[in-house]
Structure 1
Amino acid sequence: MTDGPGELRARLEKTGYLVDDGLAIACFLALKLHRPIFCEGDAGTGKTALASALAQVQGAPLIRLQCYEGIDASQALYDWDFPRQLLHLRAAEAVGVTDAGRLESELYSRRFLIARPLLQALETQPSVLLVDEVDRADDEFEAFLLELLSEYSVTVPELGTLRAASPPVVVLTSNRTREVHDALKRRCLYHWFDHPGFERELAIVRRRQPQVTERLAAQVTAVVQTLRTQDLLKPPGVAETIDWAEALDALGATELDAELAVATLGSVLKYREDADRARSLDLSAILAARGA
């Protein structure tokens, strides 16, 4: 636990994750009040990276649950190790164990329980639980999450109630492919992740890719900022800016020109239509206008 939002912000920035005052306060309150933080915004704006940075600050493992359509409680919470249970049953029969009650209690003991991410987070202190892209899950799974995050406990019929000795730090992310229900949002602290301005994005690139020249980092950031103003299918996020700078540096580039930018667009744009749109721009003029 930190003394205040300012100290937490400084500790997050030491991990290489830059935050503004609003996010620093939200994170501090999440730690102080044991409330999940709900991070919503476009892909590539740093939502997932926040959970990793918080784990580093806390000195805790990051436990990730990747949501997808059709995910259910057994895939997220726990399951029984049926192959091991079967081997145990055969071994017991081989040595003549016939007590059905004993066999059942052994088969459904903790040793055969496979903890999935949610149960792992409840049983690991401290821990940071990342529930990534919760908007991809369905309504039933949202309701299940709401119940679990309210009590930080789960009931396994064969074992009883398993409760977290100390609640994990919970980060939920959403790319807003659909609206998440208000009930789940109300349980959380909320923060909207927007694309950063030029100066802030440049600082992020310089922090994450310190080997890249200052001029190249500024040029890459300038072009990406312009690309986001175009009518693209998927505007590039900060993650793509970082990837592009890293790719150019790997090619030995110390500065960017229009020809090199076009040749390496695959590092920053992931749709053919977006790449075609970028090629139609006067990239030389963009670089000159930015003074990069």
Structure 2
Amino acid sequence: MTQIALPQSIDDTLALLGNADYVADRSLATVIFLALKLGRPLLLEGEAGVGKTEIAKVLAQGLGRRLIRLQCYEGLDVASAVYEWNYAAQMIEIRLAEAGGATSRDKLTSDVFSQRFLIERPLLQALKADPAGPPVLLIDELDRTDEAFEAFLLEILADFQVTIPELGTIKAAAAPIVILTSNRTREIHDALKRRCLYHWVDYPDAARELAILSAKVPGVPKRLSREIVAFVQAIRKEDLFKVPGVAETLDWASALVELDKVALDPALVSDTLGVILKYQDDISKIAGSRAAQLLDDVRAELKA
């Protein structure tokens, strides 16, 4: 299998992302290019819904690589992230060996703690060779884990290897492409950050968000697209508990297309706020007269 070459310039990186309908700014394309060129993990931080996870998916798609995703959560441990032993199969093997008269404890131990009883989890899978090239390893929402798990990651991100006491050290023949994401619900430790390149993925400006909407939800009427983006941009300036991300913009556009709408009106905005706002206090703050005022401001701005 022929491997797809890594992009050789920032412009190539922009094209790679664009071919998968990911509209990136040049600063993001630059840090992705450097991470690929230098073989360094890339830590992406930003609010939820701004497209951090999508970057790993787009890279895997564009480079023809396998995507391996480790979804982080509180209490994530080595057994779930790296490996564990198939204890049920090991017990059966021990019972069969005993029934067959096997007496060598050392041989039995060697047999049951071998590769065929090893259950590989995402981090170990990412170290395995692949004909298509090293996989894209997505460690998603790292901030949901604890500092102990972060400390465990240091060996993997520094040397791309894992130590299994019963088998020894397993090292990647070629380093995977590593993307880590964080919604910054807590700070990631400096020791881990030092092993990564870093980029803050911010909300896009209106022009880029309109380009994203056009790429991801084709068929939205031009006027509606402009009003959707301008309204969401205006909402992000409000004092809300959680402002909408790009994902919510796309969801709202899809919902309004399903309703056969070609433009926004105050009643429509109020009725569909639950698509873009996910907290009742936020919806109550925007619904009604405030929605009407924002929409008036948006239309005046678009006409200017």
TM-score (norm 2): 0.92
Deviation digits for residues 3-60 of structure 1 (CA, Å, limit 9, x no counterpart) = 2111111111110111111111111111111101110111111111111111112111
Establish whether residue 69 from structure 1 lines up as the match of residue 74 from structure 2: yes
Q: What 5-or-longer segments of structure 2 have no aligned partner?
A: 1-5
> 2-side partners of 1:236 and 1:4: how far apart?
33
Q: CA RMSD in A?
A: 1.5
Paired residue secondary structure (1:68): coil
The one-letter amino acid paired with 1:132 is D
Question: Residues 10 and 29 of structure 2 are in contact (CA less than 8 Å); yes or no, is this contact kept in structure 1?
Answer: yes
Paired residue secondary structure (1:243): helix
The one-letter amino acid paired with 1:217 is S
Establish whether residue 175 from structure 1 lines up as the match of residue 206 from structure 2: no
Q: Which is worse superposed, 282-291 or 165-174?
A: 282-291
- Among 187, 190, 194, the residue aligned to 2:195: 187
Q: Which residue of 2 aligns with 1:18?
A: 23
> 1-side partners of 2:302 and 2:7: how far apart?
41
The one-letter amino acid paired with 1:168 is P
Q: What 5-or-longer segments of structure 1 have no aligned partner?
A: none
Percent identity at matched positions?
Answer: 52
Matched ranges for 1:241-252 at <5 A? 241-252=249-260
Matched ranges for 1:138-287 at <5 A? 138-279=146-287, 280-281=289-290, 282=292, 283-287=294-298
Paired residue secondary structure (1:291): helix
Q: Which residue of 1 aligns with 2:52?
A: 47
- Among 140, 156, 170, the residue aligned to 1:132: 140
Q: CA deviation at 1:291?
A: 2.5
Paired residue secondary structure (1:105): helix
Deviation digits for residues 93-129 of structure 1 (CA, Å, limit 9, x no counterpart) = 3333333222211111101111111111111432011
Q: CA deviation at 1:290?
A: 3.5
The one-letter amino acid paired with 1:18 is V
Q: Which is worse superposed, 275-284 or 230-239?
A: 275-284
The one-letter amino acid paired with 2:255 is A
Moved over 4 A (4+): none
Q: Which residue of 2 aligns with 1:79?
A: 84
> 2-side partners of 1:99 and 1:243: how far apart?
62
Question: Residues 234 and 298 of structure 2 are in contact (CA less than 8 Å); yes or no, is this contact kept in structure 1?
Answer: no
Question: Residues 50 and 202 of structure 2 are in contact (CA less than 8 Å); yes or no, is this contact kept in structure 1?
Answer: yes
Q: CA deviation at 1:73?
A: 2.3
Deviation digits for residues 182-240 of structure 1 (CA, Å, limit 9, x no counterpart) = 12111111111111111110100110011222222211111111110001101100011
Q: CA deviation at 1:161?
A: 1.1
Paired residue secondary structure (2:127): helix
Deviation digits for residues 79-101 of structure 1 (CA, Å, limit 9, x no counterpart) = 11111212222233333333322
Q: Which residue of 2 aligns with 1:288?
A: 299
TM-score (norm 1): 0.95
The one-letter amino acid paired with 2:9 is G
The one-letter amino acid paired with 1:252 is D
Question: Residues 137 and 178 of structure 2 are in contact (CA less than 8 Å); yes or no, is this contact kept in structure 1?
Answer: yes
Q: CA deviation at 1:272?
A: 0.1
Query: Residues 87 and 250 from structure 1, CA distance in 2 versus in 1: closer, same or farther, beyond 3 angstroms?
Result: farther
Establish whether residue 107 from structure 1 lines up as the match of residue 112 from structure 2: yes
Question: Residues 231 and 295 of structure 2 are in contact (CA less than 8 Å); yes or no, is this contact kept in structure 1?
Answer: no
> 2-side partners of 1:58 and 1:96: how far apart?
52
